[in-house]
Amino acid sequence: MRRLPGLCVALLLVIAGCGGSSTLTGDALQKQDEAVHSAAAEGELLASDVARDRTTEPFARVHSGDLADQAKAVAKRVRDADAAPGLERERRQVLTRATRVAQALEELHAAPDDREVAERVQAELRRLAA
């Protein structure tokens, strides 16, 4: 029984440690980059349909918001993590790309029936998805 407080403290330290920053390996960074690419490529399809007036305003608004949230979640994960040795430059690139994708999608989210905005967002997302 005397060991119980010590075990509890150890458990709390482990739990607290789980909430701290993690280290991004090459594979993990690659996965985050793929998630950004996915949001950008899907956003490009959506923006293209908004530009051609082939969708509804609620769908464009809600779905672009969801995609922006996905890109923001990646940006947060990458921002909060440390890069494994030699991968800091790649980490910054993924972070920049995720932030730009999120910004472009938020622009579409704010003006889901503006065809000019959609054309601009489509071009930006096409570039970011490349």
Chain residues that interact with other proteins, rule: CB under 8 A: 31, 34-35, 37-38, 41-42, 45-46, 49, 54-59, 61-63, 66, 70, 129
CB of 54 to other proteins, least distance (A): 4
Torsion angles phi and psi, residue 23, rounded to 5: -110, 130
The least distance separating other proteins from the CB of residue 7, rounded to whole angstroms, comes to 25
Q: Toward other proteins, which CB reaches closer, 59 or 88?
A: 59
- Nearer CB in complex with other proteins: 8/45: 45
Supply the minimum distance, in Å, between the C-beta of residue 93 and other proteins.
18
d(CA 79, CA 84): 13
Give, in order, the Cα–Cα distances in Å from 96 to each of 71, 116, 118. Answer: 11, 24, 21
Residue whose token pair is 């054309």: 119
Q: Residues near 21 by Cβ (< 8 Å), separated by ≥ 6?
A: 80, 81, 82
| Residue 8 vs 62, nearer CB to other proteins | 62
Nearer to other proteins, 41 or 84 (CB): 41
CB of 76 to other proteins, least distance (A): 16
